[in-house]
């Protein structure tokens, strides 16, 4: 069993996509071991996107992710990291495979509805940023 961090970004939450995305997660067979709606602080957003700090789009990323409520999700399942990333689809929705979340719902590369950890190290770090000790189910 593997755990990963998933997020429904402000554009997805604002558009009411949370129930559909959670239903897709359940149909896939992943177990939700942590779930909360929240507004991300600027400090948490800067830590979350820290690897992009020197990139010109860093400020836009932080502004976007702090611009409204998100849904933070801790998922558990077999190969959950790769599986969730496959369910999301390519970052650019124009390149996302049909039936993926981003192909079905994303409008632009910048507003692409979801986030998912890209490695076990990222998953551990991101789960720790968004969930305190004791907030995840055993």
Q: Which residues does the annotation mark as catalytic? A: 115
Strand partners, 72: 7, 36
Mode of pairing for the β-strands spanning 114-116 and 70-77: unpaired
H or E segment at 14?
A: helix 10-14
Strand partners, 67: none
Q: Give burial (CB, 10 Å; 0-12/13-18/19+) of 15.
A: middle
């Amino acid at each position: 069993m593997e755990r990963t961090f998933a997020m429904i970004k402000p554009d997805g939450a604002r558009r009411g996509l949370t129930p559909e995305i959670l239903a897709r997660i359940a149909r896939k067979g992943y177990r939700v071991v942590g779930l909360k709606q929240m507004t991300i602080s600027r400090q948490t957003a800067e830590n979350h996107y820290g690897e992009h700090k020197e990139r010109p789009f860093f400020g836009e990323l932080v502004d976007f992710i702090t611009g409204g409520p998100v849904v933070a999700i801790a998922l558990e399942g077999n190969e959950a990291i790769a599986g969730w990333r496959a369910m999301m689809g390519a970052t650019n929705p124009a390149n996302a495979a049909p039936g993926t979340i981003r192909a079905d719902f994303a409008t632009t590369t910048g507003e692409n509805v979801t986030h998912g950890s890209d490695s076990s190290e990222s998953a551990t770090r991101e789960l720790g940023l968004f969930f305190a000790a004791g907030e995840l189910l055993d």
